[in-house]
């Protein structure tokens, strides 16, 4: 029996934690804070990442990702303060083709907006709910307490309630219908994320749409850096099928003539033009109506007045 003491290999989640804690403290976080704070931050970050990887659906896929992509995710968490893991994660770690990707959840965006002074809530609307929308904003929402959305087909849409924390003012409740959400889902490259968290992705899509359209007056550096840290989620090569439009006929087609009877066409064809029978349809007239006009009654002619002429015989001529 050998007296040599064999060194046991650490479990994958512990080796993953040691790698992050060592490299994050010495190469990344020291550039942001002092050495002591960097070591403490590296320990917290390594613990969060190790727990998130250990409780993931496929931990081995995360452990096998490239070290460079893992450290990129660590930097994003260090800059934004958003860590993965937990019952309701603010960040998702998504392994894809050997690279670890850092994705914000809708809760992560809401957390960053809350730090910037705005409370935003993405409200999914079930198909059985009653909702009224005027000028692109929800004015009334009556939810069905017995209905709960679990997939995209359960949704009628999502609206985002935006409030300013300083005075409690309601900025608005912009509405994004399910048709627009499904269009973005069809072009997304992270179909696995959409399949696993469809409603959460719909909420995140609505929030990002609100920010992009300027409904949320937010100029926060941490939020902008977090949004820009996400990989490109849309495949621009995937486009919708073009809608078939009926072209308005013009020229000979507008007259119902599908053939060209011009002299040039006849010469090119090498034959006489075909005779075309044209049916002339006379306009049908209704029975002629004769209106008999009665002569107007005329007044009887008056006799000319009689002139009395008296001749005086005594008058000499």
Query: Does some domain include residue 307?
Result: no
Q: What is the pLDDT of residue 1?
A: 42
How many angstroms separate the CA atoms of 198 and 192, rounded?
A: 10
Task: Say whether both 99 and 114 belong to one domain.
Answer: no
Residue finishing a domain among 219, 253, 286: 219
- Count of Cβ atoms closer than 10 Å to residue 190 Cβ: 19
> What is the chain's Cα-based Rg?
44
Q: Which domain holds residue 40?
A: 10-104
Q: Please compute the mean of the pLDDT values over residues 131-136 and round it to a whole number.
A: 94
pLDDT of residue 301: 62
Phi, psi of 313 (to 5 degrees): -75, -20
Q: What is the predicted pLDDT for the residue at 203? A: 94
pLDDT in tens, 198-236: 999 999 999 999 988 888 776 667 677 777 777 765 544
Q: What is the pLDDT of residue 4?
A: 45
Asked if residue 247 is part of any domain, the answer here is no
Q: Tell whether the model's pLDDT for residue 2 goes beyond 50.
A: no
141-175 pLDDT tens trace: 999 888 889 999 999 999 999 999 999 999 999 99
* Claim to verify: residue 69 and residue 157 sit in the same structural domain: no
Q: Which alpha helices (DSSP H) does the chain contain, by range?
A: 12-23, 35-54, 59-63, 67-80, 106-115, 178-186, 191-196, 198-212, 221-229, 263-269
Q: Which tens digits make up the pLDDT trace of 257-270?
A: 555 555 555 555 55
pLDDT at 291: 54
Task: Mark whether 37 and 117 lie in a shared domain.
Answer: no
Task: Name the token pair of 161.
Answer: 């309630």
Considering the domain architecture, whether residues 111 and 214 belong to the same structural domain is answered as yes
- Do residues 79 and 111 share a domain? no
- In terms of Cα–Cα distance, which of 173, 80, 81, 158 is closest to 120? 173
Name the pLDDT band for 186 (thresholds 50, 70, 90).
confident
| Assigned domain for 39 exists | yes
What integer pLDDT is reported at residue 13 of this predicted model? 75
Please report whether residue 51 resides in a domain: yes
In angstroms, the CA 54 to CA 256 distance is 72
Residues 289 and 23: their CA atoms lie apart, in Å, by 107
Residue 237: pLDDT band (50, 70, 90) is: very low
- pLDDT at position 238: 41
Q: Which residue has the tokens 């250990």?
A: 54
Residue 125 lies in a domain: yes
Let me know if residue 168 belongs to a domain: yes
Instruction: Tell whether 62 and 124 lie within a shared domain.
Output: no
Q: How distant, in Å, are the alpha carbons of 13, 14, 220 from that of 9? A: 11, 10, 44
* 114 and 181 part of one domain: yes
The residue among 40, 72, 104 that closes a domain is 104
| Per-residue pLDDT reduced to its tens digit, 36-85 | 666 677 778 888 888 888 888 889 999 999 998 998 888 888 878 889 98
Tell whether 62 and 19 lie within a shared domain: yes
Q: What is the pTM of this model?
A: 0.62
Confidence of residue 304 (pLDDT cuts 50, 70, 90): low
Predicted confidence (pLDDT) at residue 137 exceeds the cutoff of 90: yes
Interstrand relation of 155-164 and 118-126 (parallel, antiparallel or unpaired): antiparallel
In a domain, residue 289? The reply is no
Please give the pLDDT value at position 243.
Answer: 47
CA distance 32 to 76: 12
Higher pLDDT among residues 190 and 253, named by residue: 190
How many domains are contained in the chain?
A: 2
115 contacts 222 by C-beta, under 8 angstroms: yes
User: Are 140 and 46 part of one and the same domain?
Assistant: no
Domain boundary residue among 104, 120, 143? 104
How deeply is 23 buried, as exposed, middle or buried, from its count of CB atoms within 10 A (0-12, 13-18, 19+)? middle
CB 175 within 8 A of CB 137: yes
On average, the pLDDT of the chain sits at 76
One domain for residues 94 and 138: no
Query: Are 146 and 53 members of one domain?
Result: no
Quick: pLDDT tens for 3-23.
Answer: 444 455 677 878 888 888 777
Are the CB atoms for 103 and 229 separated by under 8 Å? no
Q: Is 122 part of a structural domain of the chain? A: yes
Q: Judge if 94 and 34 occupy the same domain.
A: yes
CA distance 73 to 166: 33
Strand ranges (DSSP E) for 57-191?
91-96, 99-104, 118-126, 130-134, 137-142, 155-164, 170-172, 175-177
């Amino acid at each position: 029996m050998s007296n040599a003491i064999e060194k046991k290999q650490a479990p994958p989640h512990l080796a993953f934690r040691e790698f992050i804690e060592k490299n994050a403290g010495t190469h990344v976080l020291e550039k942001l804070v002092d050495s002591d704070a960097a070591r403490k931050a590296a320990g917290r970050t390594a613990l969060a990442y190790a727990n998130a990887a250990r409780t993931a659906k496929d931990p081995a896929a995360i452990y096998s990702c490239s070290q460079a992509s893992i450290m990129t995710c660590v930097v994003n968490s260090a800059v934004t303060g958003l860590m993965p893991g937990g019952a309701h994660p603010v960040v998702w770690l998504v392994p894809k083709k050997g690279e670890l990707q850092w994705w914000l959840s809708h809760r992560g965006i809401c957390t960053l907006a809350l730090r910037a002074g705005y409370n935003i809530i993405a409200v999914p609307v079930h198909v059985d709910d009653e909702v009224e929308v005027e000028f692109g904003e929800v004015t009334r929402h009556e939810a069905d307490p017995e209905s709960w959305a679990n997939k995209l087909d359960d949704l009628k849409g999502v609206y985002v309630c935006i409030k300013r924390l300083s005075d409690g003012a309601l900025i608005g409740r912009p509405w994004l219908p399910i048709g627009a959400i499904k269009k973005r889902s069809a072009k997304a490259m992270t179909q696995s994320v959409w399949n696993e968290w469809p409603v959460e992705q719909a909420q995140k899509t609505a929030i990002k749409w609100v920010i992009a359209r300027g409904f949320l007056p937010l100029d926060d550096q941490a939020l902008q850096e977090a949004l820009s840290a996400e990989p490109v989620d849309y495949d621009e090569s995937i486009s919708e099928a073009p809608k078939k439009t009926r072209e308005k006929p013009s020229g000979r087609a507008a007259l119902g003539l599908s053939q060209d009877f011009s002299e040039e066409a006849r010469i090119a064809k090498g034959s006489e033009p075909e005779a075309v029978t044209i049916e002339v349809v006379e306009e049908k007239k209704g029975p002629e109506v004769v209106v008999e006009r009665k002569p107007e009654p005329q007044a009887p002619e008056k006799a000319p007045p009689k002139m009395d002429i008296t001749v005086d015989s005594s008058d000499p001529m």
